[in-house]
Amino acid sequence: MEPHQMRYQFNFEKALKKRIETIKKLRGFLEIEEEMREFLHDEMLKLHKQGDEKLSASYQIQWMRWSKYCSAWAVRICAMETSQLSLELLDEQDEIYIEEGFYITLGINPSTLISPSGFMTWRLQDIPTLKRIEKEDRLPLKEGEMYPTFWNIEERLRRFPEYIKLERKFPSDKIITQEFIEKWAFPKGYIEPRQAEFYRDTKYPPYDESFSKLLHEELRKDRFIEGEHNEEWRWIKSDNSLSWLCKDLHRHQIPKSYYEDEIKDPVWDDFEHYFYYPKDKYPLRKQRPLTIVEDGESVPMDVPQQRKLEKIVEKLLLHEGITSGRKEFD
């Protein structure tokens, strides 16, 4: 699809505040489900000790299902909490699901819902059939009791005011992206125009996306950069370290897909595509490490935090299927 003329990002202050509030609620909901899981476990053990193996087995089935449900939600909540504050989905899709719009209103990256990890294999509009309690597996009830359900958290989410309002505004399960932006998310302040200063064109990236995402993840983890993957990354260490990284990647000819044809020198423009590097600064291609004189020869010194950069390059080599390790400088 053609990208929208205007690109958007979360209103960071509003999104983070709402996300923290939502995660706190979800953890409270999960605690309730975990209490039910422990109750089923205790009942299972009690009945087993009493010798009622048939009823104990019924409780065991429910306990196992409840454990799976709680584990799944623990993973989901963690993914929500750590999701990037980017909105590439709005640039990529002509339509979005109502759940994706809902999570944007909660300050959560909707891409978390459709990630390869399979975070969302269910819809809030439909009770997941895998979590139904089949009739033959149901526990015997005492007078006045009700059957427990496995979709409690989903039902609570559907009762959030943000979901109810969104559902009334857009009755279909899918929403035209531009309508969601113009009639809901932007006027209500959930999103704002992208900051042009750090805009990076993601349509024709020089490197394979899996490679650039791993590079971004490792650099960010070691505090070499700031910024989301789809932005220009802001280098916060010494410039000659960034220059060293480009040369080391080129020296090892990674990513391999980029080096299908022989390339004699680093292609600085393609490397700089990923980084915010002001044009008035001393060019990266001219950066050189400091040298010391040993036995009458100039010997280059390590750049700042070079050992960390070397380990990052080693991970990238493994990602590319190269197991021989880093080459030492000549």
pLDDT band at 129 (very low <50, low <70, confident <90, very high): very low
Give the distance between the most distant pair of CA atoms in the chain: 94
**Following DSSP, what letter does each residue of 28-58 receive, concatenated?**
HHHHHHHHHHHHHHHHHHHHHHHT-HHHHHH
> Which pTM value belongs to this model?
0.55
Could you give the CA distance from residue 323 to residue 321 in angstroms, rounded to a whole number? 6
Average pLDDT over every residue of 105-114: 81
> Which of 75-79, 139-143, 255-259 bottoms out in mean pLDDT, i.e. has the lowest?
139-143
Taking only the tens place, the pLDDT of each residue in 217-264 is: 999 999 999 888 888 899 988 888 999 999 999 999 999 999 888 888
Provide the mean pLDDT of the chain. Answer: 82
CA count, 13 A, side-chain hemisphere, 38 = 6
Phi-psi region of 123 (alpha: psi -120 to 50; beta: other; left: phi over 0): beta
The yes-or-no verdict on residue 284 having pLDDT over 80 is yes
pLDDT, position 26 = 95
